[in-house]
Chains A and B, each alone.
Chain A
Amino acid sequence: MSDIQCVDLCRTFYQGDTAVTGLDHVSIDIKKGEFVCLVAPSGGGKTTLLNAIGGLDKPDAGEVWIAGKRIDNLGKSALAEMRLNNIGFVFQAYNLIPVLTARENIEFVMEVQGIPAADRHIRSAAILAEVGLEGLEDRRPAKMSGGQQQRVAVARAIVAEPEIVLADEPTANLDSSSAEQLMDLFVALNKKHNTTFVIATHDQRVMEYARRIVKMLDGRIDQDIPQVGR
């Protein structure tokens, strides 16, 4: 069964009088448990596609289906609910709430999901251990390195065990070893929970982990390459 299905997505942005193509008739099918890299040069449409999949932005035309439900015609609150329950987002950087500690950042999302406090404590402790952040639970983002912050963001994205994790250039601000650790973590989570990963990147190091590489150019899908043997 398809986990993510995009049908003929189009998105055009207008900057003054000039039209900028974000997505140009993009169709893509991603199955449950896939580990996909969206690769394109800057401006190729990666973010626009991820935003459409996550319901953060509405395409001008086409359909988006998540776990069998059409989402491109949903309202704001319904989309927020859908993300809360089905999708974990990881952005390039600075996406933690600065006044909350690592643990609180993670528990906040669970609290919004309505998970009882006792459960939240157990699960946040477990997930922080899983991403290798024992001992840093009570630090605020400003007191952590970029790599550590990014792992908190990942922990937050996956703690509720979403179907899908969407990551937009997650390694862009990380040094090589942090980037490697993060990708190892993604792969491990993908194997353990069968979570679908869609990672937008133009980072060579990231592509090496992919089991399927989708290359985009000027808002179109250029190549769709399965990486045999991974």
Chain B
Amino acid sequence: MPLNNITFRLAWRNLWRQPRRTLLTLGAMVFANTILVCMISLQFGMYGLMIDNTLSMLTGHLQVLAPGYKDDGKIRQSIDNAAALASVLRNDLNRSESNGLEHKDADGDDERVKISVRGKAFALASSEERSFGILVMGVLPEHEPQVSSIPGLIHRGRYLSSGTAQEVVIGSVLARNLQVDLNDEITFIGSGRDGSFAAAVISVVGIIQSGMTDLDRSIAQMPLHLFQETFTMGNGAHEIVIRAPDLSRVEETVNRVQQRLENDSGLKVYDWDQLEPGLKQSIQADLISAWFMYGVLITLVAFSVLNTVLMSVLERTREFGIVMALGLTPGRLGRLVMLETAIMGVLGLVSGILIGAALVGWGGIYGISFPGMDEMGKQFNLPARIYPELTVFQLTLGPSIVFAATLLASSWPALRLYWLEPVQAMRGA
């Protein structure tokens, strides 16, 4: 019971012997903690969005590919009977999940694993005016919207209507480059799976605008059936694209898919980290530069604490001499000094977390935008405002490190008490 504890009372009152100095140090701590809570929440919120937006564009959470396709990307490296396999997986994964009856969790989120299939081939797309090399995808129009945001990004016209339709949607930049519009025809020329000449003339029903120029310049999607016909794929395709209920369940889903595939043909399962290695790398790079900044901030706070504690110890040299004469060991005195810092640290920790939580909570409702976000936003297709979430980890990570740094800083003055000679201490001051 601390209030009944005189050591605690002593530490507490010692703190307030120099109220201004203590308040200033505390202010620095609260300031740093608040900044850390806000920045870390924003950062993690942004990473979440970055991952989500990037993956929901085309990649999905995991993919099943034929051996070698990820590295070589050859049209030959295809999955036989891909649509059938996908529908088996779709049934299996979602039946064993929850008896095939109820697909909503407590929050009402969709708990189903979403699966679609794509064929991919490079081809020359030509209009009457020009030709460009692009990536043609064959997709399942009824399943593609569940694993990809592309169908939702139709700017003009409409998305593919059915699996048997003879139509194509293309990126907005490609449309501009080819100088084609809705209902115009495009000629696709490439080589089929067997090396034969592949060609098709298909009319445009929709224009995609993702906002990512690279994508909008090179994308064309047509029904898988038409793709297979054009590129002599038979019933083959290249990707089985899978979306887990959420990011935290990717690993589990990878394992389950792997189990289902065991008998099959050496197909490979890759998670999003393997499919998009750049994503984690850019997050890590951003983390490193952010933590460098935080490190500077934390170091500054630690030095301000060190300064305060050193001064408060120096001022009390005589007093320390007396209590040592009374029989306090240097270790006990050191702990007293650390206790004073710890009290200050806890005050800073709690107020920093409270203020930070209030700010982040406010931001979660009204959204936050800050300089530099535009750049990141363009690259990863982020919205202009970000709505950070409150999680215990993000709230406590920064302040805990500040607290630890604070204790570490005070350990030096505390340790110095071992060299304090009581007689010298009492003579001085």
Contacts and interface: CB of A to CB of B under 8 A. Distances in A.
Interface in A105-160: 107-109, 111-113, 117, 156
Contact of A109 (B5, B327, B423): B327
Interface string B413-429: 00000100111001000
B389 interface: no
Interface stretch (B274-282, B317-325, B379-387): B317-325
Nearest to A140: B13
Interface string B90-103: 00000000000000
Contact of B10 (A54, A76, A89, A100): A100
Range class of the A interface residue count: 20 to 34
A39 to B, nearest CB: 21
Contact of B6 (A87, A89, A100): A100
A97 interface: yes
Contacts of B4: 117
Contacts of A107: 6
A94 B325 CA distance: 13
Contacts of B13: 99-100
Contact of B324 (A80, A87, A91, A109): A80
A97 B323 contact: yes
Contacts of B258: none
A20 B262 CA distance: 91
A151 B318 CA distance: 20
B423 A56 contact: yes
B423 A97 contact: no
Interface in A71-113: 76-77, 80-85, 87, 89, 91, 94-95, 97-100, 104, 107-109, 111-113
B329 A89 contact: no
A57 interface: yes
Contact of B331 (A77, A87, A100): A77
A79 to B, nearest CB: 9
B293 to A, nearest CB: 39
A97 B322 CA distance: 9
Nearest to B8: A111
B327 A81 contact: yes
A108 B7 contact: yes
A76 B330 contact: yes
A80 B327 CA distance: 4
A21 interface: no
Given A99-B10, A99-B13, A100-B9, A112 B332 contact: yes
Interface residues of B, number: 27
A56 B330 contact: no
Main secondary structure of the interface of A (DSSP, over half): helix
Contacts of A108: 6-7, 10
Contacts of B426: 91
A27 interface: no
B333 to A, nearest CB: 9
Nearest to B13: A99
A76 B324 CA distance: 10
A156 B329 contact: no
B20 interface: no
B326 interface: yes
- The CB with the most chain B CB atoms within 10 A, among A80, A109, A113, is that of A80
27 contacts: A51-B423, A54-B325, A56-B325, A56-B422, A56-B423, A80-B324, A80-B330, A80-B332, A81-B327, A83-B326, A84-B327, A84-B328, A85-B327, A91-B322, A95-B322, A97-B10, A97-B322, A97-B323, A98-B319, A99-B10, A100-B6, A104-B6, A104-B9, A108-B7, A111-B5, A112-B7, A112-B326
Interface of B: 4-7, 9-10, 13-14, 17, 318-319, 322-332, 418, 421-423, 426
Given A80-B329, A84-B327, A100-B9, 18 more contacts: A56-B325, A57-B423, A80-B332, A84-B328, A91-B322, A91-B426, A94-B318, A95-B322, A97-B10, A99-B10, A100-B10, A100-B13, A108-B7, A108-B10, A109-B326, A111-B6, A112-B328, A117-B4
The 6 closest A-B pairs by CB, nearest first: A84-B327, A99-B13, A83-B327, A80-B329, A77-B329, A108-B6
